[in-house]
Amino acid sequence: MIELDRINHKILDVLEKNGRISNSDLSEKVGLSASACLRRVQELERTGVITGYRAQLNRSALGSSIVIFVMVGLSEHAASYASDFETAVSASRQVREVHNVTGSVEYLLRVEVDDLSAYKQFHSEVLGKQPQVHSITSYICLGSPKDERA
């Protein structure tokens, strides 16, 4: 495990907000030389603290204007049920996130669709056809005043 000092935390904060920042700009923001900054970033990548960089997309511009959080309960707690369910929903392009959670259900999904008709189809054709699924509760997202996903 890598030691995260104040400068490493500062590097991570800046990169989390702007993963495309140049090394020279990053080094200025954190108060290091460009070479020292690059070495630290490479070490954070090598040790798995930084696992990658990605583009943040405007899903509305792509047609996916509705976000729905879906709570899914499985009919059994067997590992094979969980594995089969995870495989099935992970293959669906509408499912953007799959979280195994504690509580009264086993999974929380973040689903993005074009409209309610598309969600109805996903609900019946994807979730409804999974033999492991015991319960489905859907929550339509009205807005996300804070969303720090990259």
* pLDDT, block means (10 residues), the chain with 150 residues: 90 94 97 97 96 83 87 94 96 96 97 95 96 97 84
The single residue listed with the structure tokens 């030691």 is: 3
Helix 6-17 vs helix 23-30: angle between axes, to the nearest 10 degrees? Answer: 130
In CATH terms, 66-140 corresponds, of 3.40.50.10860, 3.30.390.10, 3.30.70.920, 3.40.50.12280, to 3.30.70.920
Furthest C-alpha separation in the chain: 57
Q: Which pLDDT score is estimated for 150?
A: 58
CATH number for the domain whose boundaries are 6-46:
1.10.10.10
Angle at the Cα of 100 from the Cα atoms of 95 and 106, rounded to 5 degrees: 100
Distance in angstroms (rounded) separating the CA atoms of residues 64 and 51: 26
Q: What is the value of pTM for the model shown?
A: 0.78
Please tell me the chain's helix, strand, coil percentages from 3-state DSSP, rounded to the nearest 5: 40, 20, 40
Give residue limits of the domains in the chain: 6-46, 66-140
Q: Which pLDDT score is estimated for 59?
A: 74
Distance in angstroms (rounded) separating the CA atoms of residues 57 and 3: 32
29 class by beta-carbon count within 10 Å (0-12 exposed, 13-18 middle, 19+ buried): middle
How far is CA 126 from its chain centroid?
20
Q: Which pLDDT score is estimated for 73?
A: 97
CA nearest to 100, candidates 112, 82, 87, 84: 82
Q: Which pLDDT score is estimated for 20?
A: 94
